[in-house]
Copies of this chain bind each other. A is one copy, B any other.
């Protein structure tokens, strides 16, 4: 996976509504579901949903097929797997024994004005 591709996937998921949409499609499985069902389930106005689905599709996270008047969207699991592989590439210099040597934490999550000595 190329960096640009990874950024596109992450950006596509980095938004509340789109994350909801994607997870709903992950739950639905490979059969997918019509855009209208997604809109109903998540109470999204059609134009907003269409905008978000287009971004997910452009990023390669969902596929579309038409069934009559409905467009059926489905999650592309391969894309997510490839992303995870990209993120963990060369983890710990490929030396797994380095991956859990110590439990360290020095501020991690909370925002602080200054890092103490």
Contact = CB atoms under 8 A, between A and B. Distances in A.
A63 B112 CA distance: 12
Interface residues of A, number: 57
Instruction: Give the oligomeric copy count.
Output: 2
Contact of A58 (B63, B77, B99, B111): B111
Interface in A3-40: 3-4, 6-7, 10-11, 13-16, 19-20, 22-23, 26-31
Contacts of A4: 16
A92 B30 contact: yes
Q: Is the interface of A mostly helix, strand, loop or mixed?
A: mixed
Interface string A36-72: 0000000000000000000001101011111000010
A84 to B, nearest CB: 6
Interface of A: 3-4, 6-7, 10-11, 13-16, 19-20, 22-23, 26-31, 57-58, 60, 62-66, 71, 74, 76-77, 80, 84, 87-93, 95, 98-102, 104-109, 111, 115-117
A71 B20 CA distance: 36
Contacts of A10: 10-11, 13-14, 19
